Amino acid sequence: MKTELTISTAAINEAALAKRREMGKGMGAVIYFSGVVREIEGNAPITAIDYEAHEEMARHQFALIFDAVEKSWPVESVRLVHRLGVVPVNEPSLWVEVTAPHRAEAFDACQFLIDEMKQKVPIWKKPLPA
Amino acid sequence: MKTELTISTAAINEAALAKRREMGKGMGAVIYFSGVVREIEGNAPITAIDYEAHEEMARHQFALIFDAVEKSWPVESVRLVHRLGVVPVNEPSLWVEVTAPHRAEAFDACQFLIDEMKQKVPIWKKPLPA
Amino acid sequence: MKFWSYFADLTGCKEAEIELSDYTTLGQVHTIVLEQFPKLAGAKNSTLKAVGLEYEDDDFVLSDGDEVSFFPPVQGG
Amino acid sequence: MKFWSYFADLTGCKEAEIELSDYTTLGQVHTIVLEQFPKLAGAKNSTLKAVGLEYEDDDFVLSDGDEVSFFPPVQGG
């Protein structure tokens, strides 16, 4: 399974990422998920979320999750970008791409990946009030 | 819920579609799914799939499915493109975008939409052997 | 009456008209179709039937001018 | 020893060193930390603990030079 992990304060350029997609001829399904900062956090209006990470541990924990994906589904590739620092409302903080032969495994793997991330990857958010 | 349905023989331009995304500030999740023609269909190598539709009925059945999505989840928008005619291997025949406040409902609605399509929308495929 | 996908190949026909008596059901039309186009018999149980743009059951009673479609399981995506 | 996210705000400290006797467990260090930084007591049961890059249980026995992290539930995405 090919994997690509980016953890960076740079804005996520979804178009540029999608353009770099490489997909084997046996692959039938691609999912992209973008997690976008909402204008409300815990019932209060915000302007942005400031993301902090234990970056080295985050990379390690993502690698463990990618290993688990590879063991569970015939996924061809996973690319994941998590932005750190201040992410304004309406901009993505997370971008995930999964390519697989069939739709069901692409969906399952993508959801597993995000569920696991939300349990294990040491990234925290601080909402910046409006 | 905003909906946009395109059924056409034109190639699906994923980049152009993604660029036209409109997402309210209360939305936190976007999913894109692309269904891509694989080089193997029923164990035989192919060069393309020729898609045929009962187009008027397909539009109507998609509209019913969109109504069901709207009743079941707080989805903000659905855009769906299905290509007809000859779609070469490695090119998408289907493109779906779902935007919603949260991830779980976006995934659920997107999977429901595709499952329902595969049961009810009168589109058929004829593999073109290699 | 319209045949779609490989049903049109099996019947050699995309569109046909038939005269029906009053109160004919969709199921009865299917029976007539299978007599006229015996190559569709093998797909009898998987055949999907629509009247206009809606799927209908065998006991649906047809009216004058109804457009009936017969087709194999759909395969979008 | 490192504190992350609002644990660093509560302790007023991002990084600290403590001397341990041999065979001290991660759970014992947590107890020491709570004595030193009582504002973390409210989060005691939801505190996540890592040694190096791995999550570890309270009965994990620490070695010389281990870097221990304490942090609240993660919130990536």
pLDDT in tens, B89-112: 999 999 999 999 999 999 999 999
Token representation of residue A12: 């996520």
* First-residue to last-residue Cα distance in chain B: 42
Contacts of D40 (CB under 8 A, 6+ apart): D7, D10, D11, D33, D34, D47, D70
Task: Kindly state the DSSP code that residue A10 receives in the 8-state scheme.
Answer: S
Reported residue count of chain A is: 130
Q: Exposed, middle or buried by CB within 10 Å (0-12, 13-18, 19+), for B33?
A: buried
| DSSP-H helix ranges across chain B | 14-19, 55-72, 103-120
Cα B83 from Cα B88, distance rounded (Å): 11
Cα D21 from Cα D24, distance rounded (Å): 6
- For residue D53, name the pLDDT band (cuts at 50, 70, 90): very high
**Global pTM value:** 0.95
Mean pLDDT of B34-50: 95
Say how many C-beta atoms besides its own lie within 10 A of residue A109's C-beta: 26
Cα A121 from Cα A58, distance rounded (Å): 5
Cα B61 from Cα B49, distance rounded (Å): 22
pLDDT tens column, C41-64:
999 999 999 999 999 999 999 999
Q: Which residue has the tokens 């093998």?
A: C42
**Helix (H/G/I), strand (E/B), else coil: C41:** helix
A-B CB pairs within 8 A amount to 81
pLDDT confidence of residue A123: 98
Q: What are phi and psi of C28, to 5 degrees?
A: -65, -40
Handedness of CA D22, D26, D27, D28 (dihedral sign): positive
Q: Domain boundaries in chain B? A: 2-16+27-129
CA distance C55 to chain B (A): 9
pLDDT confidence of residue B42: 85
Could C75 and B123 be called an inter-chain contact, meaning their C-beta atoms sit closer than 8 Å? yes
Whether ipTM tops 0.90, in short, is yes
CA distance readout (Å), C27 to C6, C36, C70, D7: 20, 14, 11, 70
Q: What is the CATH number of domain B2-16+27-129?
A: 3.90.1170.40
Of C48, C53, C76, the CB nearest to B123: C76
pLDDT tens column, A28-63:
999 999 999 999 988 999 999 999 999 999 999 999
Q: What are phi and psi of A54, to 5 degrees?
A: -85, 90
pLDDT tens column, B8-32:
999 999 999 999 999 999 999 999 9
Determine contact, residues B43/B34, Cβ cutoff 8 Å: no
CA distance C64 to chain B (A): 19
CA distance A99 to chain B (A): 9
Mean pLDDT of D48-58: 98
pLDDT tens column, B49-90:
999 999 999 999 999 999 999 999 999 999 999 999 999 999
pLDDT along chain A (130 residues), means of 10: 98 95 95 97 94 98 98 98 98 98 98 98 96
Cα B60 from Cα B63, distance rounded (Å): 5
Check CB contact of A17 with chain B, cutoff 8 Å.
Answer: no
Cα D60 from Cα D64, distance rounded (Å): 13
Mean pLDDT of D7-27: 94
Check CB contact of C50 with chain B, cutoff 8 Å.
Answer: yes
Q: What are phi and psi of C14, to 5 degrees?
A: -95, -30
pLDDT confidence of residue A42: 85
* First-residue to last-residue Cα distance in chain C: 26
Check CB contact of C4 with chain B, cutoff 8 Å.
Answer: yes
Q: What percent of chain C has pLDDT over 70?
A: 100
**Helix (H/G/I), strand (E/B), else coil: A130:** coil
Check CB contact of A23 with chain B, cutoff 8 Å.
Answer: yes
Question: Per CATH, the architecture of C2-71 is what?
Answer: Roll (3.10)
Contacts of A21 (CB under 8 A, 6+ apart): A30, A97, A99
